Chains A and B, each alone.
Chain A
Amino acid sequence: MSLIDTIAFIFYNAIFYAAPLIFTGLGAVFTERSGVTNIGLEGVMQIGAFTGIISNLFLHDIFGGATVFVSIIIAMIVGSLFSSLLAISSVTFRSDQIIAGTALNMLAAGGTIFLVKKLFEGKGQTPMVKDAITRFDIPVFENIPVIGKIFFQNVYLTSYLAILAAILGWVILFKTPFGLRLRSVGEHPTAADTMGIKVNRMRYIGVMISGALGGIGGAIYAQSITLDYSHATISGQGFMAIAAMIFGKWNPLGMMGAAIFFGFAQSLSTIGPSIPFIKDIPTVYLYILPYVLTILAVAGFIGKSVAPKALNTPYIKGSR
């Protein structure tokens, strides 16, 4: 392959793998900025992946080409409802957020396979979907020399939607009243309360946004990468999205950059054999690369002073 082809190949694969991480990571940013850690995003992605595949399989005849996107929307709604469990238990009933998130993961892992077995006569894996997210060329832009081939030919719509979502997320978080209030709730909930902002309601919204975006992320992942659902579909992507958020210092654009980087690392285990030099590395290193990189990323940035100050602390009126 020529150099341009190689770069294009790496680029769109990186974004392809990154898209689910970007959506979920954006969700993580919103929930943590409101002061609630959602470790359960792994489970949310599983719910999203499961819902996406099931909707796709059952609605394929009704919606034809649009099935994929209808499934994503359904996954978004279900993901949001699922995450409300975390909100209820942590925000209203003051449970520890890490524990609640872990319980969410267990619930999703067990619940989704339970439903798969019920729907498909005891089999632990769904059939493959017929409608997947496909590639296309963006008109006009695709003809620009050099960068046209890299960025605008043969790309997945969802990849660019992800980038747009991250940019929109940044604008909302830093330039709108909603974003200002959300951040205040995560930094100094008592101050926000004195300014008349409903702290717990904001936190619910933050958590449910993360559920919606995580659901989208999971649905995209399943409908583009695995094309079916089983217990092995989502394996750590939810946690990687959280790591991308930390690496990106709780900023949607930083998170996006980190997610693209992790997407690149993930892609290596599949596309590695096609790239010279990479193909000689034993596969085990390629498998663990995203995880090791995540550790290095989290260790390399001493983000202690950067996390929202009121993270993982239930807000109780009158406590100072």
Chain B
Amino acid sequence: MSKRWTSILIPVLAVILGLLVGALIIAISGYNPIVGYAQLWEGIFGDSYVIGESIRQITPYVLAGLAVAFAFKTGLFNIGVEGQLIVGWFAAVYVGISFDLPAYIHLPLAILAAGLAGAFWAFIPGILKAKLGVNEVVVTIMLNYTALHVTNALIRSIAKGDTTEQIAKTASLRIPFFEEITQYSRMHGGIFIAILTVIIIWFILEKTALGYELKAAGFSQDASKYAGMNVSRNIVISMVISGFIAGLAGAMEGLGTFEYVSTKTAMTGIGFDGIAVAVLGGNNPIGVVFGAILFGALKYGSLNMPNPPAEIPEEMISVIIAVIIFFVASGYLFQWLYEKFLKKKGVK
């Protein structure tokens, strides 16, 4: 089987299997899977409002998935997208409420602030790995929780209570036209930024000398060193770019979805779902878009599941997504099944 085929076939099979296993779990738990999935579908495509909201949900997923995928491609596990996103969100809203500027400056400035905040948050694990060889997985995870508490404290210091004021109109990603055609969903212009970022990242990875170096470092640090590349510098660059993208995901939430930021008791979950998106998308930019569409839509649609008559808690979708990831990651399972069943038929 050619590599191209398997890289598309396995994710598709994984999704189908995941949905089937999900249906099984729903049934065992005493709910009706058919009604449940029907409501899930309704929750995504039912009317223009939910379609708009689904697109809104997909937007940060594209960026979160891209951030994780970019890091993976260059040999790094960025499990800290969650924290980078949170600080990015805060930075974007801070710029959004603190300045009085015309839109063509205010909005880009807020977005840039988000990216830089995320980049800075990712710089820490990057430099620790580059200089001291510290494994980035634990550091990024710890920084997630740190980001949560630090931004909570910062929010309380600049807002009256737990929520900031709304950002200025000049910093918002909302587009009146979108609001009109989707019955006033929160769908916003960030989707364009997300797509643009995907294209830019694809170009960097496939067409530039920098991308060549970053990929080489991801595949073989030893060969990169022998080829004269500055591996430490490249590790930091990779993490910083990944963090920047994650920060942009935070800007989507702060400048588009909510137009404010408030304290949180737990992680947003977008960062972790970003990992799922990247894994499903095979870590390449185009795959990430498809993964984001799938998981973003599922995540939003699941909000309709607790409604009668299905009455299934929306957390079910996290279970389904986790099962899909297990199947994608265990790709060898499919190869094993393929060999078992084709060998049985006597095919060599």
B150: A residues at CB distance < 8 A: 284, 288
Interface 9-mer from A16-24, A98-106, A182-190? A98-106
Interface 9-mer from A112-120, A134-142, A148-156, A273-281? A112-120
Contact with B along A72-101 (1 / 0, CB 8 A): 000000000000010011000111101110
Known contacts A106-B272, A287-B149; is A113 also within 8 Å of B313 by CB? yes
Q: How large is the interface on A (under 10, 10 to 19, 20 to 34, 35 or more residues)?
A: 35 or more
Q: How large is the interface on B (under 10, 10 to 19, 20 to 34, 35 or more residues)?
A: 35 or more
B91 to chain A, nearest CB (A): 18
Contact B134 A299 (CB under 8 A): yes
Known contacts A102-B79, A292-B146; is A107 also within 8 Å of B138 by CB? no
Asked if A302 CB lies within 8 Å of chain B CBs, one says: yes
Contact B141 A236 (CB under 8 A): yes
Contact A114 B149 (CB under 8 A): no
Asked if A64 CB lies within 8 Å of chain B CBs, one says: no
B315 to chain A, nearest CB (A): 4
B138: A residues at CB distance < 8 A: 239, 242-243, 246, 294-295, 298
Asked if B316 CB lies within 8 Å of chain A CBs, one says: yes
A96: B residues at CB distance < 8 A: 329
* B265 nearest in chain A by CB position: A232
B166 to chain A, nearest CB (A): 25
Contact B135 A110 (CB under 8 A): no
Contact B137 A114 (CB under 8 A): no
The contact of B146 among A242, A291, A302, by CB within 8 Å, is A291
Contact B142 A39 (CB under 8 A): no
Give the CA-CA distance A202 to B15 in the complex, in Å.
Answer: 31
Known contacts A93-B332, A95-B332, A110-B318; is A291 also within 8 Å of B142 by CB? yes
Contact A114 B333 (CB under 8 A): no
Contact B315 A103 (CB under 8 A): no
Asked if B77 CB lies within 8 Å of chain A CBs, one says: yes
Give the CA-CA distance A63 to B334 in the complex, in Å.
Answer: 46
Asked if A270 CB lies within 8 Å of chain B CBs, one says: no
Contact A110 B316 (CB under 8 A): yes
Contact A93 B143 (CB under 8 A): no
Asked if A109 CB lies within 8 Å of chain B CBs, one says: yes
Known contacts A98-B137, A106-B322; is A232 also within 8 Å of B266 by CB? yes
The contact of A288 among B137, B149, B330, B333, by CB within 8 Å, is B149
Contact A107 B315 (CB under 8 A): no
Contact B323 A107 (CB under 8 A): yes
**Could you list which residues of chain A lie within 8 angstroms of chain B, going by C-beta atoms?**
39, 85, 88-89, 93-96, 98-100, 102-107, 109-111, 113-114, 117-118, 122, 231-232, 235-236, 239, 242-243, 246, 282, 284, 287-288, 291-292, 294-295, 298-299, 302, 304
Sample of 18 further A-B pairs with CB below 8 A, known A99-B325, A295-B143: A89-B326, A89-B330, A94-B330, A95-B330, A100-B330, A106-B318, A106-B325, A107-B322, A110-B316, A110-B321, A239-B141, A288-B149, A291-B142, A291-B146, A292-B146, A298-B139, A299-B128, A299-B132
Q: Which 9 A-B pairs have the closest CB atoms?
A: A110-B318, A93-B330, A95-B329, A107-B322, A284-B153, A117-B313, A106-B322, A103-B325, A114-B315
**Could you list which residues of chain B lie within 8 angstroms of chain A, going by C-beta atoms?**
29-30, 77, 79, 124, 128, 132-135, 137-139, 141-143, 145-146, 149-150, 152-153, 265-266, 272, 275-276, 279, 306, 313, 315-319, 321-323, 325-326, 329-333, 336
What are 7 A-B residue pairs whose CB atoms fall within 8 Å in the complex?
A99-B279, A117-B315, A284-B149, A292-B142, A292-B146, A295-B124, A302-B134
